[in-house]
């Protein structure tokens, strides 16, 4: 799954081309890419297409209904500057559609690609928007998704649990540590009050957003913390250090364009990041720890894996 750095790379790449642009046409090529989009009825209320807002299996009739609703509502709208919280990315709508946003959930393989009008098709394009920008002219904004875990949706903006306004589907998401309004003390206090393993706490998007498996392993390696260490066994100084390590690894990953292990993780121009070459723990099972030389170990964790150094990151 893309984590904060990969999503932020996409947001930053979109901003110059979409902020102030108007959608002049839309085409839904695969209704499955709208599984989180809730269509509206004639009265403006959410319409029941038999699937709810997060239906995964679309009948042909429901797919056509959802596609027609999305194309109708998105065509002609003006886009504001894209925003992000944690792994969630959205483009607020301006003018008459204010209070609504185009929410992009990238899932495992979703991509938002900016292309010239005459560019050849990328593979797995599910939704296409034609946009016109006052300075950059006409462009294509393609949503491509090989595995179809991602989606686009029009969603109303709502007050978020951590403050601010976000799409309703992201209202439960906490602020991320790169957000200027992130509350360091509240995070440290919550972390140290729980018996849950520290890695699970880092992955709890209601506590701190944007951290996934890769960057949790990297931050814990830098902080010399075993992933299974209970939060309540971590002192305040070490908890603050861990938060700083999360920020450090995010900053480095952003500078290097994110982590790309395959062709799925790319920026809006289709270019891969290279932070994978800077990883110290994640995916390095059996390789020497860059700090002490001990082989990196991998252990099962919640259906995934944790990578750590058994010498540098002793279990408390």
Which residues are identified as catalytic?
2-3, 87, 304
Please give the radius of gyration of the chain, using alpha carbons only, rounded to the nearest integer: 21
Helices (H), 38-105: 60-74
Closest CA to 239 of 196, 186, 192, 205: 192
- DSSP lists the bridge partners of residue 121 as none
Q: Is position 311 annotated in a ligand binding site?
A: no
DSSP, res 181: T
Helix crossing, 236-255 with 213-223: angle to 10°?
130
Please count the helices (runs of H) and the strands (runs of E) in the chain: 6, 11
Compute CA distances 68 → 12, 27, 39, 40, 107, whole Å. Answer: 30, 9, 9, 11, 23
Residue 105 annotated as part of some ligand binding site: no
Hey, which residues does 110 pair with through a beta bridge? 145
φ, ψ dihedrals at 22, nearest 5°: -115, 140
- Distance from the first to the final alpha carbon of the chain: 29
Residue 58, classified by CB atoms within 10 Å of its CB into exposed (0-12), middle (13-18) or buried (19+), is buried
- Phi, psi of 97, deg, nearest 5: -100, 15
Q: Any bridge partners for residue 266, and if so which?
A: 272
Task: Please tell me whether 124 is known to bind a ligand.
Answer: yes
Residue 267's alpha-carbon distances to 37, 109, 133, in angstroms, are 24, 12, 20
Helix (H, G, I), strand (E, B) or coil at 115: strand
Binding-site annotation, residues for DNA: 124, 147, 194
Binding-site annotation, residues: 124, 147, 194
């Amino acid at each position: 799954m893309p984590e904060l750095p990969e999503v932020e790379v996409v947001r930053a790449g979109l901003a110059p081309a979409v902020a102030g642009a108007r959608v002049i046409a839309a085409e839904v090529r695969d209704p499955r890419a709208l599984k989180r989009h809730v269509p509206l009825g004639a009265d403006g209320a959410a319409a029941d297409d038999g699937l709810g807002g997060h239906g995964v299996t679309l009948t042909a009739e429901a797919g056509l209904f959802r596609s027609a609703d999305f194309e109708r509502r998105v065509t002609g709208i003006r886009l504001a500057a894209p925003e992000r919280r944690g792994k969630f990315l959205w483009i607020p709508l301006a003018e008459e559609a204010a209070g609504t946003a185009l929410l992009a959930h990238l899932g495992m393989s979703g991509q938002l690609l900016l292309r010239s009008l005459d560019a050849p098709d990328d593979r797995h394009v599910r939704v296409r928007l034609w946009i016109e920008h006052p300075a950059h002219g006409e462009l294509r904004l393609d949503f491509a998704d090989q595995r179809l875990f991602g989606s686009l949706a029009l969603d109303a903006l709502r007050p978020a649990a951590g403050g601010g306004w976000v799409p309703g589907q992201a209202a439960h998401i906490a602020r991320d540590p790169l957000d200027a309004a992130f509350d360091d003390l509240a995070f440290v206090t919550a972390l140290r009050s729980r018996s849950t393993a520290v890695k699970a706490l880092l992955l709890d998007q209601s506590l701190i957003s944007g951290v996934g498996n890769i960057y949790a392993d990297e931050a814990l390696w830098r902080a010399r913390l075993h992933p299974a260490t209970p939060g309540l066994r971590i002192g305040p100084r070490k908890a603050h250090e861990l938060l700083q390590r999360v920020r450090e690894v995010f900053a480095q990953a952003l500078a290097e364009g994110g982590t790309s292990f395959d062709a799925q993780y790319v920026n809006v121009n289709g270019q891969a990041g290279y932070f994978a070459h800077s990883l110290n723990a994640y995916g390095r099972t059996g390789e020497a720890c860059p700090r002490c030389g001990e082989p990196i170990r991998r252990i099962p964790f919640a259906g995934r894996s944790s990578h750590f150094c058994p010498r540098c990151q002793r279990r408390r």
